[in-house]
Amino acid sequence: MEDNRGIPARKNATLKDVAEACGLSVAAVSRYLNHSIKLPQSTTDRIDAAIAALNYRPNPHARSLSLGRSETIGLVVPDIANPYFAHLAAAVEQAAAEYGLGLLLCPTLSRTDRELDYLGRLSRQHVDGLLFVTNNGDDPALARALLGAKTVVLVDDDIDGTTAPTIMADSEQGGRLATALLIEQGHRSLAYVGGPQGLSSSRSRLRGFRRAIAESGQTIAIAAELHGPYSSAHGRIAAEQLLALDPVPTALFAASDEIALGVLSVFKQRGVKVGVDISVIAFDDVGPLELFDPPLTAIRQPVNAMGRRAVQIVLALINGEALLPATELLPVELIIRNSVKPPNR
Amino acid sequence: MEDNRGIPARKNATLKDVAEACGLSVAAVSRYLNHSIKLPQSTTDRIDAAIAALNYRPNPHARSLSLGRSETIGLVVPDIANPYFAHLAAAVEQAAAEYGLGLLLCPTLSRTDRELDYLGRLSRQHVDGLLFVTNNGDDPALARALLGAKTVVLVDDDIDGTTAPTIMADSEQGGRLATALLIEQGHRSLAYVGGPQGLSSSRSRLRGFRRAIAESGQTIAIAAELHGPYSSAHGRIAAEQLLALDPVPTALFAASDEIALGVLSVFKQRGVKVGVDISVIAFDDVGPLELFDPPLTAIRQPVNAMGRRAVQIVLALINGEALLPATELLPVELIIRNSVKPPNR
DNA sequence: CTGAAAGCGCTTACAG
DNA sequence: CTGAAAGCGCTTACAG
């Protein structure tokens, strides 16, 4: 029993130190720690005491090397500064921690080379699994690289030509709900300001948009269907385009919060009153939309549920459990605020 | 030379495989890879070819175990879903990647036990260094644990009684700039809605607030100095308190974006017009404040510079370089928008 | 059940 | 300069 208060340990205790301290073999202690052995209470007490006295904690690298896994997963996202991904990361980390997994952050800035690089880390067992969010789902090189990866779950979007399990929000239903609200409020000239044309998430939101129109039984003009990155820059460009239209549509559905931000900033700048001159509904609902001018109506993505579910599935994959259904769609929710009003023309 | 297109490698190539493939010892290849040897061009070509053919990549755990370091740092933050920390994480990750360091995400939800746990991971060499953001800087247990940690840099706030290098924004200057703007616009009754009283960041912002008042040469009433967590919940409570005052102050300085969000939501709910009934200035400037109603004036923290600088310093610490000045203050910036106007009473 | 020993895949002090 | 070998700290198949 050593007295080590205050003084930083000269050297970390190893399993060997613990074993010696209580007169056992390292194997016995290791087995005890990994719950693969049953020992008499008196012995386990001795081990616990030695661990406490020596302040022993296993070296994770030795463990990883020996085990061939790291008990760490990676979260591959385009940009962690984006509030949507930040929320996703928080949800993922929390779920991962509950399952004893560490989380390595892998932001790609949407660069395919970085995405491939992180996939490489997976095969080197740097991480045991990867939660993969990409805006390059239409890149064949990515799809090819993904084929060899057995413990990847796609989040938020799928990738053409892969069979990896996928967790997504029900984007089509979201697009449908959003558009139905616009129609219900009386709008008859609508625009879709979408994400990248190649991405399934944006295609689904567009499908929902069209479907709500078809289902309405009304004569609705589709003033525009615009595509581009899920960015505020794209939102700004789209807003300019819409304002140049004649007539300007009376309502628009923006496929992400970020796009809506860009749209709103142009409208604000040009004096276009949201909810009066034009109604706007967004998709994601992660920003402080309730504080916007006016508070923004949006479709809320189930970020927490998606993060948690993705962790569960990657863990099942890591443990070699039976294949799960290829794609899971999680329900979205309509959050009504003040940016959708009946048209005033 | 193997043909492995399409087929996932049966097993990852090791250094031994590479060495055998080109008739060298593992030591030679290892040294070459670590740049601690000079080999003839013909030899290095052979090695490079073998590495490419076998698709060799070093096993990071073996390397870490052998080296006693992991080339990974951890970022300890209260909550990654908070936009301020999300931006910080993005900046840190980018800088870390440039220096070849991985980034492990360590969110604490401000729980001291989790903070201590992450500190433990550091001593187990799970990570080589830690960038540490905490709201518990006044907790003596934390300070004690930090004493033994040689490769920690404190970010954003310091911890009482530690000597760890610290990177912070110049909060006092920020508080001073913010308050000076309010005074300059004619306000004579001000409130400070601050962060936790025990935290140096909030104390500094308060110091700046008082200093600007003292320096103004005007007679200024300090209507309130409120303290609480850097959260929107605290902002909401504070807003209620301020509105209950008689007279209500004509302007307030909120010590974080989050606090401002809470304040604004109460004001919105109660019909208090920001910029008309009361002026508001925030601190952080990471949210889309320009889209708020009205666009929010704020002090901008140099998040990118802080993240980058913190990585540089932790790296210097890891490399055992000479101690650097204890605390670095990075300059803040006043971003004028529309939430501060002259008082109308 | 238990322990001695091999093995995970690297790095590097040491001897040639 | 170069290679054989030890060592990093675990886990676990194997033999007792």
Looking at the fold, whether A179 and A294 belong to one and the same domain comes out as: yes
- How confident is the model at residue B94, as a pLDDT? 94
Q: Read off the pLDDT band of A324 (50, 70, 90).
A: low
Q: Which residues of B touch A107 (CB under 8 A)?
A: 90, 93-94
Q: What is the mean pLDDT of residues B114-129?
A: 86
**Cα separation of B222 and B211, whole Å?**
12
Is residue B58 pLDDT above 70, yes or no? yes
Looking at the fold, whether A310 and A284 belong to one and the same domain comes out as: no
Is residue B253 pLDDT above 90, yes or no? yes
- What is the per-residue pLDDT across A268-280, written as a single tens digit (0 to 9) for each? 999 999 999 999 9
Q: What is the mean pLDDT of residues B9-28?
A: 84
- What is the per-residue pLDDT across A8-36, written as a single tens digit (0 to 9) for each? 445 788 999 999 888 888 999 999 988 77
Count of structural domains, chain A? 3
- What is the per-residue pLDDT across B286-329, written as a single tens digit (0 to 9) for each? 988 988 889 999 999 999 999 999 999 999 999 888 676 689 99
Burial (CB < 10 A; 0-12, 13-18, 19+), residue A188, is middle
- What is the per-residue pLDDT across B201-231, written as a single tens digit (0 to 9) for each? 999 999 999 999 999 999 999 999 999 999 9
Looking at the fold, whether B39 and B88 belong to one and the same domain comes out as: no
Looking at the fold, whether A49 and A140 belong to one and the same domain comes out as: no
Q: Read off the pLDDT band of B138 (50, 70, 90).
A: confident
- Indicate the range of A110-119, B236-245, B319-328 predicted with least confidence: B319-328
- How confident is the model at residue A4, as a pLDDT? 36
**Cα separation of A86 and A72, whole Å?**
19
- Indicate the range of B10-14, B141-145, B273-277 predicted with least confidence: B10-14
Give every strand in the sheet of A189-193, ordered side by side: A221-226, A189-193, A251-254, A279-284, A297-300, A333-335
How does the average pLDDT of chain B come out, rounded? 91
Kindly state the DSSP code that residue B100 receives in the 8-state scheme.
Answer: T
**Cα separation of B12 and B25, whole Å?**
18
Cβ contact A104–B58 (<8 Å): no
- What is the per-residue pLDDT across A52-85, written as a single tens digit (0 to 9) for each? 999 898 999 999 999 989 999 999 999 999 999 9
Q: Three-class SS string for chain A? A: CCCCCCCCCCCCCCHHHHHHHCCCCHHHHHHHHCCCCCCCHHHHHHHHHHHHHHCCCCCHHHHHHHHCCCCEEEEEECCCCCHHHHHHHHHHHHHHHHCCCEEEEEECCCCHHHHHHHHHHHHCCCCCEEEECCCCCCCHHHHHHHHCCCCEEEECCCCCCCCCCEEEECHHHHHHHHHHHHHHCCCCEEEEECCCCCCHHHHHHHHHHHHHHHHHCCCCEEEEEECCCCCHHHHHHHHHHHHHCCCCCCEEEECCHHHHHHHHHHHHHHCCCECCCEEEEEEECCCCHHHECCCCEEEECCHHHHHHHHHHHHHHHHCCCCCCCCEEEECCEEECCCCCCCCCC
- How confident is the model at residue A190, as a pLDDT? 98
Q: Does residue A90 form part of some domain? A: yes
- How confident is the model at residue B120, as a pLDDT? 83
Looking at the fold, whether B142 and B238 belong to one and the same domain comes out as: no
**B77 in Cβ contact with B135 (< 8 Å):** no
Looking at the fold, whether B142 and B290 belong to one and the same domain comes out as: no
Is residue B6 pLDDT above 60, yes or no? no
Closest residue by Cα to residue B288 from A143, A263, A273, A98? A263
Strand D: which of residues 24-83 in chain A lie with Cβ below 7 A? 26-27, 30-31, 33-34, 36, 56, 58-59, 62-63, 65-67
Q: Read off the pLDDT band of A117 (50, 70, 90).
A: confident
Looking at the fold, whether A192 and A250 belong to one and the same domain comes out as: yes
**Cα separation of A83 and B82, whole Å?**
8
CATH number for the domain spanning B311: value is 3.40.50.2300
Looking at the fold, whether A143 and A190 belong to one and the same domain comes out as: no
**Cα separation of B25 and A113, whole Å?**
32
Q: Does residue A181 form part of some domain? A: yes
- Indicate the range of A86-100, A172-186, A312-326, B163-177 predicted with least confidence: A312-326
Percent of chain A with pLDDT over 70: 96
Looking at the fold, whether A51 and A147 belong to one and the same domain comes out as: no
- How confident is the model at residue B4, as a pLDDT? 36
- How confident is the model at residue B9, as a pLDDT? 42
- How confident is the model at residue B324, as a pLDDT? 64
Q: Does residue B9 form part of some domain? A: no
pTM score: 0.91
Q: Which residues of B touch A69 (CB under 8 A)?
A: none
Domain encompassing residue B44? 15-58
Q: Read off the pLDDT band of B36 (50, 70, 90).
A: confident
Closest residue by Cα to residue B58 from B35, B37, B34, B23? B34
Is residue B268 pLDDT above 80, yes or no? yes
Q: Read off the pLDDT band of B106 (50, 70, 90).
A: very high
- How confident is the model at residue B117, as a pLDDT? 86
The domain boundary, picked from B58, B92, B109, lies at: B58
Q: Which residues of B touch A96 (CB under 8 A)?
A: none
- How confident is the model at residue B96, as a pLDDT? 95
Mutation choice for B interface testing from A12, A14, A67, A105 by most B CBs within 10 A: A105
Residue–nucleotide distance: B193 CA to C7 C1' (Å): 61
Q: Which residues of A touch B268 (CB under 8 A)?
A: 291, 295
Is residue A143 pLDDT above 70, yes or no? yes
Looking at the fold, whether B267 and B208 belong to one and the same domain comes out as: yes
CB atoms within 10 A of CB B57: 14
Looking at the fold, whether B156 and B267 belong to one and the same domain comes out as: no
- How confident is the model at residue A92, as a pLDDT? 97
Q: Does residue A21 form part of some domain? A: yes
- How confident is the model at residue B240, as a pLDDT? 98
- What is the per-residue pLDDT across B151-175, written as a single tens digit (0 to 9) for each? 999 999 888 888 899 999 999 999 9
Q: Does residue B46 form part of some domain? A: yes
Q: Does residue B341 form part of some domain? A: no
Q: Read off the pLDDT band of A152 (50, 70, 90).
A: very high
Give every strand in the sheet of B189-193, ordered side by side: B221-226, B189-193, B251-254, B279-284, B297-300, B333-335
Torsion of CA A220, A221, A223, A229, to 10 degrees: 40
Looking at the fold, whether B79 and B53 belong to one and the same domain comes out as: no
Q: What is the mean pLDDT of residues B261-269?
A: 94
Say whether residue B70 is in contact with chain A using an 8 A CB cutoff. Answer: yes
Q: Does residue B114 form part of some domain? A: yes
Q: Which residues are in reach of strand C, CB within 7 A?
A: A 24-28, 37-39, 62, 65-66, 68; B 12, 14-16, 26-27, 30-31, 33-34, 36, 56, 58-59, 62-63, 65-67
- How confident is the model at residue B3, as a pLDDT? 36
Q: Does residue B291 form part of some domain? A: yes
Q: What are phi and psi of A116, to 5 degrees?
A: -65, -40
Is residue B80 pLDDT above 70, yes or no? yes
Cβ contact A291–B293 (<8 Å): yes
A123 CB neighbours strand D below 7 A: no
More confident: B122 or B267: B267
**B51 in Cβ contact with B19 (< 8 Å):** no
Q: What is the mean pLDDT of residues B32-49?
A: 85
